[in-house]
Amino acid sequence: SGRKVLIVYAHQEPKSLNGSLKRIAVEELSKQGCSVTVSDLYAMQFEPRATRNDIVGSLHNSEEFNYGVETWEAYKRGSLSNDVIEEQKKVQEADLLIFQFPLYWFSMPAIMKGWMDRVLVQGFAHEFPNCYDSGLLKNKLALFSFTTGGSREMYAKGGISGDIRYLLWPMQHGIMHFCGVKVLAPHICFSPEYVSEEKRKEMLIAWAQRLKTLWKEEPINCSPEWYFK
């Protein structure tokens, strides 16, 4: 197929369900002829903090530090730090971005949020008015694949945690769609720690099955209605 996939993966333990989901994605997509790159954030000891260190050389304004402005200027002159440039290259080349992680506090782990904060800089991923449908990363797809602590019932519309879609709004809409990326339906494994080994196997099989026809899927409707209807 010649397609390129970047998996941004945030879990400390390769033997975890997240580790298995990541491994299955690599195997299945490679089998289809895709070239798959993994950014294993914990293994890379990826720096999540957005700091002055992300700019190589002198600042645009050394009087008062503004991270957004400085990284935008640094991007334009090619003087972002190497680790950020590396990740941007991977994103640039990818047709599909898969984010694989356990849900922490209704969100992604800090190390992955730090990846978003540092990699998706202005000029590279968005540049007003070029955002949302005209974001700079249009023609790419993203998929959030994650595990939860709570059960499916807890994350239902009437459940104690509210509809799981509400939590996807900042991640899928506020980050990915903002940068022009089209979003495939999320892949959610509910409370794997509290189900049988058998059920966990079924979760892995379901993911492998979905990946077989992934490229035929239509992105979700990018409107607020999808999240809040």
Instruction: Map out the domains of the chain with their CATH numbers.
Output: 4-228 (3.40.50.360)
pLDDT score at 229: 83
What's the number of CA atoms in the CB half-sphere (13 Å) around residue 22? Answer: 24
What pLDDT does residue 1 have?
Answer: 65
Collect contacts of 20-23 with beta carbons under 8 A, ≥24 apart. 20/204, 21/100, 21/145, 21/147, 21/189, 21/203, 21/204, 21/207, 22/100
| 2-53 tens-digit pLDDT | 999 999 999 999 999 999 999 999 999 999 999 999 999 999 999 999 999 9
C-alpha dihedral sign at 117, 156, 224, 90: positive
For 105-163, the pLDDT digits (tens) are 999 999 999 999 999 999 999 999 999 999 999 999 999 999 999 999 999 999 999 99
Mean pLDDT of the chain: 97
The share of the chain scoring above pLDDT 70, in percent, equals 100
